[in-house]
Structure 1
Amino acid sequence: MESLKPIKRTPIRIYFGKKYYRSKRYFDWVFGNKKFSMKKEDQPLKHQVFAHQTLLLRELKNVDMWLQHNKVKNLKIATQKLNKIIIRPGETFSYWRLLGNTTKRKGYVDGMVLHYGKVTTGVGGGLCQLSNLIYWMTLHTPLTITERYRHSYDVFPDSKRSQPFGSGATCAYNYLDLQIKNETNTSYQLIVYLNDTHLVGEWRSETPAIQSYEVYEREHAITMEYWGGYVRHNRIHRKVFNSDKIQIDDEFVTENHAIMMYEPLLEQETVTSKSI
């Protein structure tokens, strides 16, 4: 089981590290061999594959609500960029390739940012809720996740958690990206928008889904480390069902290891989510 320890990096190390990894990403965008999805279609594709929604405003310990309201402003801008994007066979969806940098000039405002396990603020903060949603929905489709980064810190307790721990995707422009490749023979379309209370998403396709999925966690554990803190672990799997709802596979998805920033609970519930 992987052991983690908090990392202390100097501001200079962080600054030049970001410059280096951002440069690598720009080089890949321009000179790499991936064909990125860039086009939208106003008319939604005919068949819904999976849909999910997450609450916009949540009361989090030691987090001011103005950060939550600013997050909503940032999500409105970001969803307009991604809504109705089409991923054709052979194309790759890149979260940051489509969104671009989150600057004030584009209308983004200060929102909550998690930096090495601590809550801070930054322009465009809060967009991890959108990358989390897209990742979770994609686990319920035949699309292939080719790049995803786990959260290194477990910052908030499981109050009202509806998905397994570690079933999201952290993001940071542009080096921590979420990339999804369409290795199927049909086009898919991402639908994302906000209503009064929730961030809403769908994956749609040209043809009806022939499989459905149930995502769940295994081997959940909390370990006390030699340096005095706690680390949380699990493995994410998904059951695959055919059109007759008969299970035909059980696939390993990923494993998670995160430093806990709060005292662990004595008992944890195992949470699963079935496709709809």
Structure 2
Amino acid sequence: MSFNKLSIIIPAYNEEKSIGLVLDRIREVHLIRRIEKEIVIVDDCSSDATATTINGFMEAWPDMNIRYFRHDINKGKGAAIHTGIAAATGEYLLVQDADLEYDPSEYNTLLKPIINGHADVVYGSRFMGGNAHRILFFWHSIGNAVLTFITNMFSNLNLTDMETGYKVFRTSIIQRIYLHEKRFGFEPEVTIKMAMLPGIRIYEVGISYYGRTYAEGKKIGWRDAVRTIYCILKYTLFNNKIIVDGPVSVTQHKRENKTLETV
């Protein structure tokens, strides 16, 4: 299978220290089969110099096809991803965190199951393969394993890493999924709703992981884990809506969420 454009969605909140480095890494990546890159940055009302860094990078590299959106108020990572999904114009889209925990040089690894005609959705797993993994928190790894296990139990999947930050979706599918969660609940919600679609083909590939400590800017906490369990139960046992009536246009999304785009 061939496609022409990959939309790279970057949700960012107070990432002045890393956002420029992430964009540099993305700039250096050459996608297989000459696939074009579209970078959609969604600044979730950062209070530091994130916006200044992004605008400086856009001025320095005007040919990188970067589109910059900024929320008027802080809404959460999931809400930023929603904005990016609505704005994406590539046939496939990929979520890239604005920190340095995930390596853009592995984009082609994520794309191979799609290029080979096997996948509609690809998850990058931190817990499979022989790539580099930073050794960090024991209880975080146990928490990730438990949350993935519960998600698998309710969705009948066999994922190894539901909470991964690297997910690739066919844009025409993800733009029609009704997504509600505004924070880290995005991960279980989108996984469960994707699993409910008839005929969906979900793959996993092993990726590297260069995790951060809380002192280095990590934001997820135990409350998010509790919310994740709530979301798993909510969207499997009490789910009311999966598919929206039609693709959500970026114009509609901007109007409903008062999101501004910097051209």
Report the TM-score, using the length of structure 2 for normalisation.
0.29
Report the TM-score, using the length of structure 1 for normalisation.
0.28
Q: Which has the larger radius of gyration?
A: 1
Higher strand share: 1
